[in-house]
Amino acid sequence: MGEEAYDLNEIHLAGAEILAEEGPSVNAEEGALPAGDLVPLAEREKPPVGLLPVSLELLYGIKMHSTYIIEEAAAGTAKGRGLSGMKLLVVDERKELFGEPYVLRVGGWSLERYLEEAPDNLIWEYVRGEVVMYSPATAEHQDLVRFLLRLLDGFCEAKGMGKVLMGPAAVRILPDVVREPDIFVISPEDIPRAKGVPLEIRPILVVEVVSPSTRTMDLREKALDYAEARIPEYWAVDPHQKEIWVHRLGERGYEVKRIESGRAESLSLPGFHLELEWLFREPLPSADECLREILRRG
**Any domain includes 286:** yes
Looking at 114, 134, 154, which one is the last position of a domain? Answer: 134
Q: How many residues does the chain have?
A: 298
Segments forming the whole domain that contains residue 82: 32-134
Judged against a pLDDT cut of 60, whether residue 38 lies above it is answered with no
Q: Residue 228: phi, psi to the nearest 5?
A: -60, -35
Rank 12-16, 24-28, 98-102, 236-240 by mean pLDDT and report only the highest.
236-240
Same domain, residue pair 161 and 188: yes
d(CA 20, CA 171): 31
**Any domain includes 197:** yes
Same domain, residue pair 227 and 99: no
Q: Residue 10: phi, psi to the nearest 5?
A: -65, -40
Looking at 75, 109, 134, which one is the last position of a domain? Answer: 134
Same domain, residue pair 99 and 156: no
249 band by pLDDT with thresholds 50, 70 and 90: very high
d(CA 35, CA 238): 31
Beta bridge partners of 255: 248
**Any domain includes 23:** no
Same domain, residue pair 119 and 147: no
Q: Residue 100: phi, psi to the nearest 5?
A: -95, 155
Same domain, residue pair 168 and 289: yes
**Any domain includes 25:** no
Same domain, residue pair 155 and 288: yes
d(CA 74, CA 53): 20
Residues 6+ apart with CB under 8 A from 146: none
Q: What is the chain's mean pLDDT, rounded?
A: 78
Higher pLDDT, 256 or 80: 256
Tens-digit pLDDT profile for residues 259-270:
999 999 999 999
Judged against a pLDDT cut of 60, whether residue 127 lies above it is answered with yes
Gyration radius (Cα) of the chain, Å:
20
Same domain, residue pair 146 and 288: yes
What own/partner pairs with CB < 8 Å and gap ≥ 24 does 270-276 have? 270/298, 271/155, 271/159, 271/297, 271/298, 272/151, 272/152, 272/155, 272/298, 273/297, 273/298, 274/148, 274/151, 274/244, 276/242, 276/243, 276/244
Same domain, residue pair 120 and 161: no
**Any domain includes 18:** no
Same domain, residue pair 172 and 291: yes
Is residue 206 within 8 Å of residue 177, measured between CB atoms? no
We report the CATH number of the domain holding residue 238 as 3.90.1570.10
**Any domain includes 26:** no
Is residue 118 within 8 Å of residue 93, measured between CB atoms? no
Same domain, residue pair 168 and 111: no
**Any domain includes 265:** yes
Predicted structure pTM score: 0.77
**Any domain includes 143:** yes
CA 235 to each of CA 3, 131, 189: distance values in angstroms, whole numbers, following the listed order? 14, 23, 22
Judged against a pLDDT cut of 50, whether residue 11 lies above it is answered with no
Number of domains in the chain: 2
Sign of CA dihedral 112, 114, 116, 121: negative
Same domain, residue pair 55 and 85: yes
Looking at 106, 134, 162, which one is the last position of a domain? Answer: 134
Beta bridge partners of 235: 207, 246
Same domain, residue pair 151 and 73: no
